[in-house]
Structure 1
Amino acid sequence: MGNRRIKWHIVVFLAPAVLVYSAVMVFPLFNTLRLALYTEVDQARVFVGLDNFRTLFGDPIWSDAFWNALGNNFWFFFIHMLVQNPIGIALAAILSHPRLRFAAFYRSAIFIPTILSFVIVGFAWKLILSPIWGIAPDMLAAVGLKSLFAPWLGKEEYALTTLALISVWQFVGIPMMLIYAALLSIPEEILEAAEVEGITGMSAFWKIKLPLILPSIGIISILTFVGNFNAFDLIYASQGALAGPDFSTDILGTFMYRTFFGFQLQLGDPHMGSAIATGMFAIILTGVCIYLFLIQTRIRRYQF
C-alpha cells in the first residue's frame, strides 16, 4: 500500500508538467509529421504518403533551396563550434581564477547579451554595421583600419558569417557559465595533489581540468547543435524572411517559415512546410543520437 501511495503521488505531481509538455511539444510534433504525409487538392486534404519528401529532395527548385539552407545551417553551427565554445571555455578558465578581481562583474557583463531579444540584437547590429549611418566605419577609422570595412550584411560571401559572429557575441555567455560551473565543481583535493606534483597554471588546466570538464563540453556542443539547427529569430530580424542577399543567409528555419506560412508572392503550403520541419527534426535527432550513443559513452569515464 505504501509503495502504491508513492506511485500515485508521483503521478499527481508529474501530471501537470506532462500535460503541458504534451500540449505544446508532443502533439504539435506528431501533427507536423502527420501533415507532411498529406497535400491539398481542390481545397481537400489528400493522403500522398512520402510524395512531399520526394518533391523536396527530387524537384530541382525545392532541392536546391533545401540543400542551400542545410549547408548554411552547418556553416552557422561550425562558426559557433569554432569560435563561441572555445571563447566560452577560455573566459570560464580566466574568470574561475581565485585571484581575479571583479570576476562577478565580468561574468554579468558577458552574460547580459544572452537575455536580450533577438529583435533588439538583430536591429542594433544592423544599425551598427550600416555603411550609411552605422558607427562601425568610424570605430575602425579611429584605429586606422577603415579600409577593412565593408557592408558585411549586404555581401553574399560575408553575410552569414557576420550573423553567426553576432550570434556568438550574444550567446557566448551560456557556454562560459556552464564551463565556469563545471570548473568550480572540481574537488580541491585533485588540484592540490596536482600542485604537489608541480602541475600548475596552464599545465594544470590542460592536464587536469580540461579532461574533467569534457562531459560539460559535450553537453554544450550538443546544445549548440540543437540551438543552431533551430535558429530562425536572428536571421529573420536582421535579414527578413527572404534571408538575403540572394538567400545567402537562408537556413532551414527561414526556409520552413516561407514555405509554411508564405511570404510576399510565395503562397503558404503547410504540407511542404511540415515536410521541411520533419527533415529538420530528423537531422537534429540524428545529431543527438550520435552524441548520446557514440560520444557520451567515450567521455563518461571522466565523470566523478
Structure 2
Amino acid sequence: MKQGFSWRVLVFITPALLIYAVFSALPLLDTLRLGLYSTDDTGARTFSGLANYATILNDPQWSASFWNAMLNNLKFFGIHMLAQNPMGLLLAALLSLRNVRFAAFYRTVFFLPTLLSVVIVGFVWQLILSPLWGVSERLLGWVGLADWFAPWLGLESSALITLSLMSVWQYVGIPMMLIYAAMIAIPEDVIEAAVVEGASPWRIFWQIRLPLILPTLGLVTILTFVANFNAFDLIYTVKGGLAGPNYSTDILGTLFYRTFFGYQSQVASPTMGAAVATLMFLVILLGVGAYFLVVQRRLQRFAM
C-alpha cells in the first residue's frame, strides 16, 4: 500500500518538477556557470573563475554602475516599504471593519491596477505627468498647488521616487488583500471579548489585530523585497534601458539588461550579464535568508 501510494504521488508531482527544472532550475544553474567565463573580441568563451565578479566590484567604471544600481534598488524597496505596505495595512484594516458599505467594490477597485499591464501603466502615467500635454499641472492648479508642479520624471532628484510611487499605485492591492485575508481570519470571539471589555477600535487594532497578523506582515515584507529586487519592466517602459536621467533610475534589473543584451553604445556581454544576474540572485538569497533566520524565528517565538 505504501509503495503504491508513493508511486501515485510521484506520478502527480513529476510534471511540476520537470517544468520547474526546465524553466527555473536549469536556467539558474546555467547562469551561474556562464558567469564564470569571459568573452574575447572574437566571441570565444574561456573559463575565468571569479574574474567577472572582481571586475564588477573593483573596476571603477563597473563598480560605480553596480553600486549606483544597488543603491537605487534599496531606495525603490524602501519607498515601497514606507508607502505601499502601510497603505495596504490601512486599507485592509478599514475594509475588514464591520458594516462597511460597498467593501467588495472598494477591494475590487484597489486590486484592479495589479491586473493591468506594466506597459499600459507606465504609458498612462507618462501622459498624466507630462509637462507638455499632461493633466497633472491642471489638476494641481484646481487645488491651488500649481507652483508645486515639476517634470518629476525628468529630474534626477525625483525620477526614482516618482517611478516608485507609480509602482506603489499599481501593486498596493496585493499587500492589501493578503493582510485583509489575515484580518478576517481572526476569530470573532476574540474581537467580541475585547469589545465587551470596553476596548476601543484603535486599541483592538494595536493590541489584538496587529500582533495576530505579524506573520502575514513578514510575508508581505519578503515578497516586496523579492519583487523590488527583480523589478525591471516599469523602469524600462518609462525610462528605457539607460534608466535616465543620468542613470538616476538605474536598478539591478536595468543594469543586467544593458550588460547582457547591450544598449546603444554599450556592447553586449552575456558572461558579464550572467555575473550581474548572479549577484542579483545572491542579494535576494541573502535577504530571504536573513528574513528566515532573524525575523521568522522571532515571529514564531512571539506566536508561542
TM-score past 0.5 threshold: yes
**TM-aligned CA deviation for residue 133 of structure 1:** 0.3
CA distance in 1, matches of 2:161, 2:45: 41
Q: Secondary structure at the match of 2:124?
A: helix
CA distance in 1, matches of 2:128, 2:145: 16
Question: Structure 2: which amino acid aligns with 1:7?
Answer: S
For structure 2, which runs of at least 5 residues remain unmatched after alignment? Answer: none
Quote the residue 1:152 is aligned against: 152
Q: Secondary structure at the match of 1:39?
A: strand
Quote the residue 2:227 is aligned against: 227
Quote the residue 1:296 is aligned against: 296
**TM-aligned CA deviation for residue 43 of structure 1:** 2.7
**TM-aligned CA deviation for residue 198 of structure 1:** 1.8
**What CA deviation, in whole Å up to 9, does each residue of 1:146-165 have, x standing for no partner?**
00000000000000000000
Q: Secondary structure at the match of 1:204?
A: helix
Aligned partners of 1:35 and 1:274 also within 8 Å: yes
CA distance in 2, matches of 1:87, 1:45: 49
Bigger mean CA offset, 148-157 vs 199-208: 199-208
For structure 1, which runs of at least 5 residues remain unmatched after alignment? Answer: none
Quote the residue 2:201 is aligned against: 201
Quote the residue 1:236 is aligned against: 236
**What CA deviation, in whole Å up to 9, does each residue of 1:89-131 have, x standing for no partner?**
0000000111110000000001110010010001110110000
**Aligned pairs for 1:37-76 within 5 A:** 37-41=36-40, 42-76=42-76
**TM-aligned CA deviation for residue 190 of structure 1:** 1.1
CA distance in 1, matches of 2:4, 2:194: 50
CA distance in 2, matches of 1:43, 1:119: 34
Do residues 264 (structure 1) and 290 (structure 2) align?
no
Quote the residue 2:141 is aligned against: 141
Question: Structure 1: which amino acid aligns with 2:132?
Answer: I
CA distance in 1, matches of 2:303, 2:269: 48
Quote the residue 1:14 is aligned against: 13
Aligned partners of 1:113 and 1:169 also within 8 Å: yes
CA distance in 2, matches of 1:238, 1:114: 17
Task: State, as a whole percentage, how many aligned pairs show the same letter.
Answer: 57
CA distance in 2, matches of 1:288, 1:114: 24
**TM-aligned CA deviation for residue 303 of structure 1:** 4.5
TM-score (structure 2 length as normaliser):
0.98
Q: Secondary structure at the match of 2:45?
A: strand
**TM-aligned CA deviation for residue 279 of structure 1:** 0.4
Aligned partners of 1:214 and 1:302 also within 8 Å: no
Quote the residue 2:278 is aligned against: 278
**TM-aligned CA deviation for residue 281 of structure 1:** 0.3
Stretches (4+) displaced over 3 A: 301-304
Q: Secondary structure at the match of 1:156?
A: coil
Bigger mean CA offset, 194-203 vs 155-164: 194-203
**Count of aligned pairs between the two proteins:** 303
CA distance in 1, matches of 2:127, 2:140: 15
TM-score (structure 1 length as normaliser):
0.98
Aligned partners of 1:57 and 1:63 also within 8 Å: yes
CA distance in 1, matches of 2:278, 2:182: 35
Quote the residue 1:123 is aligned against: 123
Aligned partners of 1:68 and 1:250 also within 8 Å: yes
